[in-house]
Amino acid sequence: MLICAVFLAFFVCLLELAPSCHRKLKSTLKGKFQKINEGISDPGTSTLLNEIYTDLYITEGGSGEVNNEHEVRQIEAASRRPATQETPIKCNDLFKDQSIRTVLTKGVAGIGKTVSVQKFILDWTEGKANQDVLFIFPLPFRELNLMKTEKLSLVDLLYQFFKDTKDLKPRIYHRYKVMFIFDGLDECRLPLDFQNNKRVSDVTQSASVDVLLTNLIQGNLLPSALLWITTRPAAANQIPPDCIDQVTEVRGFSDPQKEEYFRKRIRDQSLAERIITHMKSSRSLYIMCHIPVFCWISATVLERMLGEAEGGEIPKTLTQMFTHFLIFQIKHRSQKYQRESDVDLDQTREIILALGKLAFQQLEKGNLIFYEEDLRECSIDVREVSVYSGKHSGFGFSKKGTMSDFLKRAVDKALQSENGHLDLFLRFLLGLSLESNQTLLRGLLIQTENISHSKEEVVEYIKQKIRENPSPEKTISLFHCLNELNDHSLVQEVQKYLNRGGSSDFSGVTLSPDQWSAVAFVMLNSEEECSHEITTLLNCETVHSKRHFLCYMFLMDYHFSLRLYGCNLSEKSCADLASALSLNSSTLRDLNLGDNEMQDSGVKLLSAGLKSSHCKLEKLR
């Protein structure tokens, strides 16, 4: 009887202890996550997250497979993908399905993964969601990396991060619903050796942090615990697919959410409307606004340029926007750390060139993130970077011949990349070659060069590359390059054949290969989701060299009703159509191939695409 009484008293004590620690942990996490610092804002200017938070567009489905495409390409592709093709999900509903234990959330850099985690935790601490979970433990990989040489138990690891767990007994972790949030898998510098790590199932058993993580993810350790892992797409394959129950993707802001962000971020609503109008006027800028951090950069720049009557041309390209942001950052750091209104150009130039060297070297290596050892390799003192001081070795491109030759070689090098990792670099390089952008950086550049005499040569070279019919992704990148050079001639040449929202009739029209590419580029970058009809192409001299390319472009990322009636489709065209229909991103619903003598061989090729599990065609005529 006495034993029963003692056991009952002990059990009651545990029940009281867990809620007590639960309340303390909630209070601690609320204090940590209720405020947010955007970008490089001062710590004293942090804002309540609930006041400025804008919901993100998150979709469920997909796989944990690695996507080798450069993230800018992924952003542009996502911006053209119709929302009707995907199932949206809210962060607070990730674990609504009781059968889900582990969720992997993917998203490109700056898309809002970490802020989503922060809002998820804040809502939990405020009693708004997921109240069936008693303990949430956010463990960023960036911080776990610092403990990679330590050997400790899971209980001890949690105590290192959360002192409120001091009095929790090991059995509590099994008795109550617990959630672990591992943010930033792409930053992980632990081996994550799922095949060879030893098995650990006891929360009090000591092991390396790497071993603890792999056993948690595999379900050997705390199998009842919920796990949420966030990552950039390129690192998603570090987790075995059989350990993941649900894959989601943070797509960033939808178009309405972009506007909502600017209205929340800018207090002056009339100014906010002006900024929204300006961003909409530049398709390339508006596409990038899918990324919340780019919205913040744009708001930072335009709030000053439009609101404080600063002089200069309002940014219309990515190069101009980032150049203005760099100037703002330099001034901000100089005033914050050096308490000076004037910028030390020599010191600033040296650190920017050193950081540029670091960025380019890591870009060539395909690395996503930089660590202190990477900085040291470029003679950068980590402590000095933040205040733009110190002496560092500079970096510049070694160029032989004329500037136009140099830029042509850069175009060639970018086109050689299969995943597009140099696409954005090429855009910036071409944009910075313009005298108008060099003027903005006057004082930072060692020398400037007026290439107006060679700009036409570079533009023509890019057009020639478009005529050579590279892949659709590379062609899109080349058109963005022309935009950075302020050349819109190809697009303007074909605009007259395109009726937005209606059909596009090219009967009797002779277009060059680069003009056909421009047609596809304009349609893919249309602001409206519309059906396009390509009617008569028979009289086009170059139709056979470009028809398959047009089909691929139309099917790749957009929602089209494609009409290729009486277009004399060849066997090669059928093969290209089949390939396009098999794409995972294909969204075509209605395809009209009437009055085409495709022969049995062509139909056989086309049927292979129709059988694909990715084909979403509903109507074929």
Q: 106 pairs with which residues across the strands? A: 231, 249
| Same domain assignment for residues 332 and 189 | no
For residue 135, the tally of other CB atoms under 10 A from its CB is 24
**Is residue 94's pLDDT more than 90?**
yes
With 0-12 / 13-18 / 19 or more C-beta atoms within 10 angstroms meaning exposed / middle / buried, residue 104 is buried
Same domain (yes/no): 268, 299: yes
With beta carbons less than 8 A apart as the criterion, state whether 169 and 14 touch: yes
Q: In angstroms, rounded to a whole number, what is the distance separating the alpha carbons of residues 588 and 592?
A: 11
> Is pLDDT of 461 > 90?
yes
Q: How confident is the model at residue 390 (pLDDT cuts 50, 70, 90)?
A: very low
**Which residues lie closer than 8 Å to 311 by C-beta, 6 or more apart?**
none
Residue 146 inside a domain? The answer is yes
Q: Are residues 1 and 150 in the same domain?
A: yes
Residue with more model confidence, 241 or 362: 241
- pTM for this prediction: 0.76
Same domain flag for 167 and 274: no
Q: Is the dihedral of CA 196, 198, 200, 205 positive or negative?
A: negative
**Does residue 96 share a domain with residue 30?**
yes
Tell me, what's the pLDDT at 104?
A: 97
**558 bridge partner residues:** none
Q: Which residue has the higher pLDDT, 12 or 509?
A: 509
Residue type for position 490: L
Domain C-terminal end among 352, 385, 415: 352
Same domain? For 341 and 206 the reply is no
Does residue 385 fall inside a structural domain? no
Residue 458 within a domain: no
Residue with the bigger pLDDT between 72 and 534: it is: 72
Please count the structural domains in the chain: 3
Nearest to 52 by CA among 251, 265, 317, 369: 265
The pLDDT tens digits of the residues spanning 607-621 come to 888 888 778 788 888
Assign residue 613 the CATH number of its domain. Answer: 3.80.10.10
Q: Are residues 285 and 248 located together in one domain of the fold?
A: no
pLDDT at residue number 113 = 95
Pick from 65, 541, 597, 44: nearest CA to 336: 44
- Per-residue pLDDT tens digits for 147-183: 999 999 999 999 999 999 988 889 889 989 999 999 9
User: Last residue of a domain, which of 193, 221, 252?
Assistant: 252
Name the 3-class secondary structure at 62.
coil
Domain assignment present for residue 376? The answer is: no
Beta strands in 243-364 (DSSP E): 246-250
CA contacts within 13 A on the Cβ side of 44: 1
Highest-confidence segment of 10-14, 431-435, 580-584: 431-435
What digits encode the pLDDT tens for the residues 35-49?
987 655 554 567 899
- The total of other beta-carbon atoms located within 10 Å of residue 342's CB is 9
pLDDT of res. 504:
58
Asked if residue 274 is part of any domain, the answer here is yes
Q: What are 385's two structure tokens?
A: 């970077």
Domain match, 209 and 297 both: no
pLDDT for 552 beyond 70? no
The verdict on residue 535 lying in a domain is yes
Strands (E), 63-177: 87-88, 102-106, 135-138, 151-152
More confident residue, 236 or 120: 120
**437: three-class secondary structure by DSSP:** helix
- Residue 530: per-residue pLDDT: 44
**Domain contains 50:** yes
Residues 6+ apart with CB under 8 A from 516: 542, 546, 549, 550
**Ranges 304-313, 424-433, 537-546, most confident:** 424-433
Instruction: Report if residue 32 sits inside a domain.
Output: yes
Torsion of CA 358, 360, 361, 364, to 10 degrees: 150
How far, CA to CA in Å, does 491 sit from each of 36, 185, 277, 560?
Answer: 42, 41, 22, 20
Q: Which of 203, 222, 252 is the last residue of a domain?
A: 252
Q: What is the rounded average pLDDT of the residues 593-612?
A: 83
Q: What is the mean pLDDT of residues 361-386?
A: 70
pLDDT at 132: 94
Cα–Cα distance measured from residue 93 to residue 129, given in angstroms and rounded to the nearest whole number: 9
The pLDDT value given to residue 531: 44
Looking at the fold, whether 125 and 226 belong to one and the same domain comes out as yes
105 and 14 assigned to the same domain? yes
66-89 confidence digits (pLDDT tens): 555 666 667 666 665 655 557 899
Total residue count of the chain as it appears in this document: 621
Q: Per-residue confidence at 540, pLDDT binned at 50, 70, 90?
A: very low
Indicate whether 267 and 147 sit together in one domain. Answer: no
In this structure, the answer to whether residues 126 and 24 fall within a common structural domain is yes
Q: What is the pLDDT of residues 100-111, one digit of tens each?
A: 999 999 998 889
Q: What burial class does residue 344 get, using C-beta atoms within 10 Å of its C-beta: 0-12 exposed, 13-18 middle, 19+ buried?
A: middle
Q: Would you call 390 helix, strand, or coil by DSSP?
A: coil
For 580, the domain range is 531-620
pLDDT, tens digit, 9 for 90 and up, residues 347-356? 778 878 888 8
